[in-house]
Copies of this chain bind each other. A is one copy, B any other.
């Protein structure tokens, strides 16, 4: 049984052709930032029959199972990330690409006071990049 099927089995998800293809893609690289649009393009290229609805269903499911992390960049679109650590991103709008910023690459010497009655749920940091000159 290949790794993708293993992973799916562990998460009690049936190893359909579509799911295996998605998970294969995800585990084939170290770090992946994907959007539904990018992923369907890639899979269609590989001659996998899959619909957009299935892409969304599965990316969301994998995020629910903790295999991917789901987040948004500006207002653009939904991104999924195989990097499950706490981390932040550069966003290169030129290439529509994300670059990880590991947690240890940023540190705060001063943090804002959390409003009364609230606690911090998550922090999103996105550093938008543009080309030099």
Determine if A111 is an interface residue (Cβ-Cβ < 8 Å): yes
Which residues of A78-130 are within 8 A (CB) of B?
78, 88, 90, 92, 99, 101, 105-115, 117-130
Residue of B with least CB distance to A125: B125
Range, interface on chain A? 35 or more
Would you call B99 and A106 a contact (CB within 8 A)?
Answer: no
Would you call B115 and A106 a contact (CB within 8 A)?
Answer: no
- Contacting residues, chain B, for A121 (C-beta < 8 A): 128-130
Would you call A127 and B123 a contact (CB within 8 A)?
Answer: yes
Determine if A2 is an interface residue (Cβ-Cβ < 8 Å): no
Determine if A16 is an interface residue (Cβ-Cβ < 8 Å): no
